Structure 1
Amino acid sequence: MKKTQLKKIQLKVNALLAAVLMAAGLGILAPAPAAADPYCGQAWGSLVKTDPAMSQAKVVNVRTGQHYCFDRLVIDLNGPVAGYTVRYVPAVVQDGSGLPVPLRGQAFIQLTVNAPAYDDAGNPTYNPPNKNELADLAGYQTFRQVAWAGSFEGYSTMGLGVRARLPFRVLALPGPDSGSRLVVDVAHFW
């Protein structure tokens, strides 16, 4: 190629580059809007989460915790977690009787662990002193109340009152020792 042809090509490239830069500066060419990230990077939902297995473990404790992005409910078992159903319901009901469990909050999660809260002789392995208040939730952002709904025919049920229908996740974690934990995290926001 000759110098004059190269110079013409370079002038065209420079003109095109200048036009693109000017269009971007005027807002004609703008980047696509960023997609909203889920709250705290969470991609949870609010639909039922279930595992139909039956556990040989027994429920031994229920506790709660607060995190930056979510409130946490932990159900301790004395063996491996195997089976649960966690879902939003219009009202939490007691095991066996079907009577409603009154809860504070605008939405209600019923947690059923496929494990009893009593040993093979019928002695309780978890017997909360106040079945209506399993934990002190003062200062929690999402949780309003955790109540015991009973343990019947190998299943243990709790009710969780929350401030709104928010996304949640369920985790089965090993430990401490030979026990395990069923963890339910409920996000503060969508």
Structure 2
Amino acid sequence: MKKIHTWLAVILMAVGLGFLAPGPASATTSYCGLVWGSLEKSNPTMSAASVTNVRTGQHYCFDRMVVDLNGPVAGYNVRYVDYVAQDGSGHLVPLRGQAFLSVTVTAPSYDVETGAATYSPANQAELTNVAGYQTFRQVAWAGSFEGYTTVGLGVRARLPFRVFTLDGPGSGSRLVVDVAHFW
């Protein structure tokens, strides 16, 4: 019994002196292993496709917004802004949150030949319901003008994000914007 107490005292002293303490966190370690930043991401190429839908989803490490197109997505510009402005008019788009992402797809939300809408949200202030999301606070329509479509994304803080495109389903494509829950 005396040996157990002796070893216990040695272990506690070693921990107290830092011999058995974990090492410092690495500066390259980030939340969920994400190494995204918060600077602008863009590709200026114009798209021949049109926007058909905007949707959102929750993931373990980030919230995701997806813009669906009826053809190949080519260009986009996603960046943090002081406010999101409506396409064409410049009017401010009110958004909930402490930081705002302007998500512009270089594709219209109408058919360029006929002018018919390919995406016409029922509620421009709430494109999707993001209640209960960890990062997203609001997704709002900012319009489609001269071949550009803009969506305002209100988030809880200026957090890292990434942007990428995916082919499909079918002949369509998607612009994906992921915003991390933490740094």
TM over 0.5, shorter chain? yes
From the superposition, tell whether residues 71 and 31 of structure 1 become closer, same or farther in structure 2 (CA, over 3 Å).
closer
1:34 Cα shift?
Answer: 3.5
CA RMSD of aligned residues (A): 1.9
1:132 to 125, 129, 135: 125
Alignment of 1:39-188 (within 5 A): 39-119=31-111, 120-188=113-181
Matched residue type, 2:36: W
TM-score using structure 2 length: 0.87
Matched residue type, 1:133: E
- CA offset digits 1:60-85 (Å, max 9, x no partner): 00000000000000000001110000
Question: Aligned with 2:77: secondary structure?
Answer: strand
In 2, the alpha carbon distance for the partners of 1:69 and 1:31 equals 25
Matched residue type, 2:89: S
Runs of 4+ in structure 1 over 2 Å off: 26-34
Identity percentage of aligned residues: 73
Does 85-94 or 27-36 show the bigger shift? 27-36
How many residues align structurally? 168
- CA offset digits 1:141-180 (Å, max 9, x no partner): 0000000000000000000000000000001011111100
1:113 Cα shift?
Answer: 0.1
- CA offset digits 1:21-71 (Å, max 9, x no partner): xxxxx6579986340511000000000000000000000000000000000
